[in-house]
């Protein structure tokens, strides 16, 4: 049992000065509202955090790798290395995202990552493709783009053994709406992304069961005042969670501010879209079958035609949400933890500092730098 005292607890809707107690791998109790200082329980170990912020561990639903390795390999040791890097930087729950590849490559990667997910290293697998628009493929290998294939998808679901959690697809492709319905029936989240769809087609996908917009604005038909496309269609629907890569490269801070004003932190999930270069510095890398060049922390395809993911951590995205976008710290924490947890159906277990939830939490300095990470009630 550990009690964190002298903390600024970042809770849903407020920042409360007080204490938090953990027992085993769970949050056991919080200081009640309005309690006078100095009334923290003295049972067990007492840890004075000296007035620092305590926030829930971050949840990243869209990340491709880090520390020089990619989830695309499907190898357990590489997946563990990438997940460990992000965990050390505050992401206590992470998905593993795969880019477009051959049927054999994807099946192998999904099968390998299913074992990693079964061990609790990752929260599941996200297929970003291969059913994407050639006109909006971004950093995906166009040679492997293909129309939605229900038989292939079901094979991937089977390979995932219950750990395939999400698929991004372009809803305008032939058979896409049926694949959305199939995904929902299999318990897989359907997301619209890498799409040239009209607003009307996007709304059809939402009615079919799509509930996520993959990295809003990026690799999407842009907003037009006579057809808002997927951006406006998803922002306007309260059933949809929109992902946002808040690195200052993919989306301008003014645009991010507009998104939060339109949808609120309860519907915006901050993501990293981080690739293998994260934590490694500038150099030449691979993202799936594509060559990527990183210069000044910005990842581009080697031919310069597209941004190729990011090199940020969720801690970076969270900090920028406060310092650049101007969100209150409790709203930034919601977008970095509780909203993505809810998107995955895990909000009863993680994503906020509440009794009974898993003791995944972070200690931050005044400048919002992560100084300590607790996972399952243990400090890393």
**Looking at per-residue confidence, does 44 or 151 come out higher?**
151
- On whether both 80 and 153 belong to a single domain, the answer is yes
Q: What is the CA radius of gyration of the chain?
A: 20
Q: pLDDT of 267-320, one tens digit each? A: 999 999 999 999 999 999 999 989 999 999 999 999 998 999 999 999 999 999
Structural domain tally of the chain? Answer: 2
Distance between CA atoms of residues 26 and 252, nearest Å: 38
Please state the rounded mean pLDDT for residues 9-19: 96
Distance between CA atoms of residues 273 and 70, nearest Å: 12
Is 273 assigned a catalytic role? yes
Q: How many C-beta atoms surround the C-beta of residue 315 within 10 A? A: 23
Q: Is the per-residue pLDDT at 129 higher than 90?
A: yes
Q: Is the per-residue pLDDT at 43 higher than 80?
A: no
- On whether both 260 and 277 belong to a single domain, the answer is yes
Q: pLDDT of 60-95, one tens digit each? A: 999 999 999 999 999 999 999 999 999 999 999 999
Task: Please indicate, yes or no, if residue 277 is contained in any of the structural domains.
Answer: yes
Q: What share of the chain is helix, strand, coil (3-state, %, to 5)?
A: 30, 30, 40
Q: pLDDT of 244-266, one tens digit each? A: 999 999 999 999 999 999 999 99
Please state the rounded mean pLDDT for residues 173-190: 98
Which of 379, 370, 293, 377 lies closest to 52, judged by CA? 370
- On whether both 25 and 150 belong to a single domain, the answer is no
Please state the rounded mean pLDDT for residues 114-138: 98
Task: Please indicate, yes or no, if residue 243 is contained in any of the structural domains.
Answer: yes
Distance between CA atoms of residues 236 and 216, nearest Å: 13
Domain span holding position 63: 58-343
**Mean pLDDT, rounded, of the chain:** 96
Task: Please indicate, yes or no, if residue 194 is contained in any of the structural domains.
Answer: yes
pLDDT, residue 39, reads 65
pLDDT, residue 44, reads 79
- On whether both 251 and 369 belong to a single domain, the answer is no
Q: Catalytic pick from 247, 273, 316, 360?
A: 273
Beta strands in 216-301 (DSSP E): 241-245, 268-271, 283-287, 290-295, 298-301
Residue 59: pLDDT band (50, 70, 90) is very high
Helices (H), 119-212: 150-160, 176-185, 199-208
Q: pLDDT of 137-155, one tens digit each? A: 999 999 999 999 999 999 9
DSSP 253: H
Task: Please indicate, yes or no, if residue 260 is contained in any of the structural domains.
Answer: yes
- On whether both 125 and 12 belong to a single domain, the answer is no
Task: Please indicate, yes or no, if residue 45 is contained in any of the structural domains.
Answer: yes
Which CATH number covers residue 159?
3.20.20.140
Q: Is the per-residue pLDDT at 40 higher than 90?
A: no
**How many CA atoms are closer than 13 Å to the CA of 118, on its beta-carbon side?**
11
Q: Is the per-residue pLDDT at 12 higher than 70?
A: yes
Q: pLDDT of 318-371, one tens digit each? A: 999 999 999 999 999 999 999 999 999 999 999 999 999 999 999 999 999 999
Q: Is the per-residue pLDDT at 37 higher than 90?
A: no
Counting Cβ atoms within 10 Å, is residue 261 exposed (0-12), middle (13-18) or buried (19+)? exposed
pLDDT, residue 35, reads 75
pLDDT, residue 38, reads 60
pLDDT, residue 34, reads 78
Which CATH number covers residue 17?
2.30.40.10
- Residue environment code for 269-285, b if the CB has 16+ CB neighbours within 10 A, otherwise e: bbbbbbbbbbbbeeeeb
- On whether both 359 and 329 belong to a single domain, the answer is no
- On whether both 11 and 83 belong to a single domain, the answer is no
Residue 118: pLDDT band (50, 70, 90) is very high
Task: Please indicate, yes or no, if residue 350 is contained in any of the structural domains.
Answer: no
- On whether both 295 and 364 belong to a single domain, the answer is no
pTM for the whole structure:
0.97
Integer CA distances (angstroms), 67 to 81, 92, 108, 249, 311, in order: 7, 16, 22, 20, 10
- On whether both 224 and 112 belong to a single domain, the answer is yes
Task: Please indicate, yes or no, if residue 195 is contained in any of the structural domains.
Answer: yes
- On whether both 42 and 63 belong to a single domain, the answer is no
- On whether both 45 and 65 belong to a single domain, the answer is no
Counting Cβ atoms within 10 Å, is residue 258 exposed (0-12), middle (13-18) or buried (19+)? middle
- On whether both 91 and 113 belong to a single domain, the answer is yes
Q: pLDDT of 147-178, one tens digit each? A: 999 999 999 999 999 999 999 999 999 999 99
> 261 and 231 in contact (C-beta within 8 Å)?
no
Please state the rounded mean pLDDT for residues 107-127: 98
Distance between CA atoms of residues 331 and 337, nearest Å: 10
SS3 state at 41: coil
pLDDT, residue 33, reads 87
């Amino acid at each position: 049992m550990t009690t964190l005292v002298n903390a600024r607890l970042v809770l849903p809707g407020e920042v409360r000065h007080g204490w938090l107690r953990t027992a085993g791998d769970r949050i056991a109790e919080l200081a009640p509202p309005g309690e006078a200082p100095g009334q923290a329980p003295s049972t067990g170990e007492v840890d004075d955090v000296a007035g620092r912020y305590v926030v829930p561990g971050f949840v990243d639903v869209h990340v491709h790798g880090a520390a020089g390795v990619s989830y695309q390999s499907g190898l357990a040791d590489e997946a563990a290395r990438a997940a460990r890097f992000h965990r050390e930087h505050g992401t206590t729950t992470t998905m593993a995202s795969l880019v477009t590849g051959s049927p054999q490559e994807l099946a192998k990667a999904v099968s390998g990552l299913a074992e990693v997910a079964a061990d609790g290293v990752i929260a599941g697998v996200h297929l970003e493709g291969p059913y994407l628009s050639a006109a909006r493929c971004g950093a995906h290998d166009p040679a492997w783009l293909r129309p939605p294939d229900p038989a292939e998808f079901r094979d991937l679901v089977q390979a995932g053994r219950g750990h395939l959690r999400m698929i991004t697809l372009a809803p305008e492709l032939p058979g896409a709406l049926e694949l959305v319905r199939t995904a929902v029936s299999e318990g897989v989240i359907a997301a619209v992304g890498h799409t040239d769809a009209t607003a009307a087609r996007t709304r059809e996908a939402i009615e079919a069961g799509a509930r996520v917009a993959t990295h809003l604005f990026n690799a999407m038909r842009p907003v037009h005042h006579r057809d808002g496309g997927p951006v406006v269609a998803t922002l306007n629907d309260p059933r949809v969670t929109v992902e946002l890569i808040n690195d200052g490269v993919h989306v301008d801070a003014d645009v991010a501010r507009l998104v939060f004003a339109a949808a609120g932190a309860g519907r915006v999930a901050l993501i990293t879209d981080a690739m293998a270069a994260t934590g490694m510095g500038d150099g030449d890398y691979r993202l799936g079958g594509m060559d990527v060049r990183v210069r000044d922390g910005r990842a581009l395809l080697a031919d310069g035609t597209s941004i190729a993911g990011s090199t940020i951590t969720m801690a970076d995205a969270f900090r920028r949400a406060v310092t650049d976008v101007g969100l209150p710290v409790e709203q930034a924490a919601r977008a970095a933890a509780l909203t993505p947890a809810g998107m995955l159906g895990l909000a009863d277990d993680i994503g906020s500092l509440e009794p009974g939830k898993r003791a995944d939490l972070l200690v931050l300095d005044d400048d919002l730098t992560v100084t300590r990470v607790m996972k399952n009630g243990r400090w890393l």
